[in-house]
Amino acid sequence: MTPFNDMAKFLSESRIANALTDWTKVYESHVRMFWSSARYEESEKTIYSAVQKRMRIIRIALELGDSDDDPIIVPESVCKGLWFRMGFTGHVNGKYLKSMFSRPYKFLVHCVLHALSHRKGAYDEPSDYIMNIITCLVLNRPYNISQVLFDHMVDNIGGEKYIMYPRFIQMLIDDQVQTFERILLMR
């Protein structure tokens, strides 16, 4: 059990700990309202909806510890080298399946996939940006997770809208409501 305890401790101390463990109560009506009314304003780099969504707000509400200066792309050679150090048993140019990692790292991939992926399903195969996030977490390198989440939210507005990131959306709405309440109390 020690490898899992070590991985759980690693995740609880990582910069995505809040995104993994926050117990925000999600209201489906709030999330549906957000996505049904969402529109993206390119000139302002802002998603307008029930509340405004800018990169800064995502970064603050989810406590991701990243910045605009952090990269969103990691060299493939760095990712592949790390995957093999994590016990990956698949082919280097094949599919990266969660099941091909050693058990503790399989748990890490599982947690990051479920918490940060924009997919509706297919949780066994991490996408490139998930590979980048895991690589940067394990190597303790900077990575702009907020930008990646924001870009996927913008893509969701332009296409067939589905309820993406429901817990994150609720966290953002709650953050905006708290900010509004603080402003009202200051008057």
| pTM score over 0.85 | no
Q: Where are the domains of the chain?
A: 2-186
Q: Contact 156/35 with Cβ under 8 angstroms?
A: yes
pLDDT tens column, 103-142: 888 889 888 888 888 876 667 888 888 889 999 999 999 9
Q: What is the pLDDT of residues 45-103, one digit of tens each?
A: 888 886 656 667 778 888 888 988 999 999 988 988 898 888 888 876 767 788 888 88
Q: Which amino acid is at 16?
A: I
Residue range 141-167: average pLDDT?
A: 85
**Angle, to 10 degrees, between the axis of helix 2-13 and the axis of helix 103-116?**
30
The answer to whether 3 touches 103, Cβ cutoff 8 Å, is: yes
Report CA torsion sign: 161, 164, 170, 171: negative
Q: What is the largest CA-CA distance in the chain?
A: 62
39, containing H or E segment = strand 39-41
